[in-house]
Amino acid sequence: MPLQIIRNDITKVKCDAIVNAANTSLLGGGGVDGMIHRAAGPKLLKECRTLGGCETGNAKITKGYNLPCKYVIHTPGPIWNGGSYGEKELLTSCYYNSLRLAKEHDCQSIAFPLISSGVYGYPKQQAFQIATETITHFLADEDSDMLVYIVVFDKGSFILSKKLYSDISSFIDDNYVDELHKDKMLFSNRILQTSQSLSDSNDMIPSEGSGALFSSHTKMKSVFSREKKASESAKKSPTPPFEDMAQADLSELLLSIDESFSDMLLRKIDEKGMKDSECYKKANIDRKLFSKIRSDKYYKPSKNTVLAFAVALELSIEETNDMLKKAGFALSHSNKADIIIEYFISRKTYDIFTINEALFSFDQKLLGA
């Protein structure tokens, strides 16, 4: 997955480069900046003293020292002053210049904090949107397979807007059916069916007035005996479709196999007038995985990969379920992630990073490879 949201301490992320939300002096400070300097050790500060500071929106690179990364990229983010002082442009530059430096140093992976969203006061929703848009545009423009992480230290520092979170919570409450409830419903339906069978069989069972005494146990036994006989009879007498299959030529049956997931995906890409690269990048899928799917007609993807492509192709709920069936899956109201995805698709919201932000907020697995 080219862009991942993870919950971790950025100083413990193993990748080629981590980004430090620094101040303009580059000499350390509070928050993420202080954490990185403490974890890297005094040699980081010593090298930073040679850099002569850094302007807001620009970026400079140092070694990682005691950190589990090769490099630290330092970028001072803007202080939020209401949004009318070029904050968006400066924050965009932070991400772009950091990515540019990472590419120049042949980094295959890089981890970002949510720059300026802490003590600098940048609204988290807007900061996240700028981060995802800038990163995805850079990866697309540079045709890069760089793996990018947005690292969140704790859930409290990263949450959807209160309204969206509330709307999704209500949608889950209205649609969620847990497995225990499903089991109870199935058991209740079975009891009702059995009761109906007993009622229907009264004309076949002598009444008490005729001298016969039947307990409820005997009646139940009679009903299940008839069901067992019917089942055994069905086994002995194959239904017409199986007779047809037994008589048909195997090669003819194989020719009638339904469209595979890979076939459907490629067909939908053509129908939408999209390029392959446009589709897999919009789905947050890396190029290598897409190549496997394209080259292997019978490739079996994960459910989240299928859903990522459904979102990228902007499929309806019905089309999404059809694509899922090709891979052996289905949307389920006993799965919170499925309900969240259904929430967005039913509202024609197909931005995968907005969906992943919601999934992350509800502790669900993200879409993509």
207 pLDDT more than 50:
no
At 217, the pLDDT band (50, 70, 90 cuts) reads low
Q: Is 33 a catalytic residue?
A: yes
Q: pLDDT tens for residues 121-171?
A: 999 889 999 999 999 999 988 888 899 999 987 666 566 778 888 999 999
Domains by residue range for the chain, with CATH: 3-158 (3.40.220.10), 201-255 (no CATH), 261-361 (no CATH)
What residue type is 209 in one-letter code? Answer: G
- Looking at the chain, the whole-number percentage of residues with pLDDT higher than 90 is 66
Q: What is the pTM of this model?
A: 0.75
Of 33, 174, 244, 351, catalytic: 33
**Residues recorded for the chain:** 369
CA distances from 93 to 138, 157, 167, 277 (A): 11, 23, 33, 25
Task: Give the contacts of 60 (CB within 8 A, at least 6 positions apart).
Answer: 26, 51, 54, 73, 74, 75, 101
How far is Cα of residue 169 from the mean position of the Cα atoms in its chain?
17
Q: pLDDT tens for residues 41-89?
A: 999 999 999 999 999 999 999 999 999 999 999 999 999 999 999 999 9
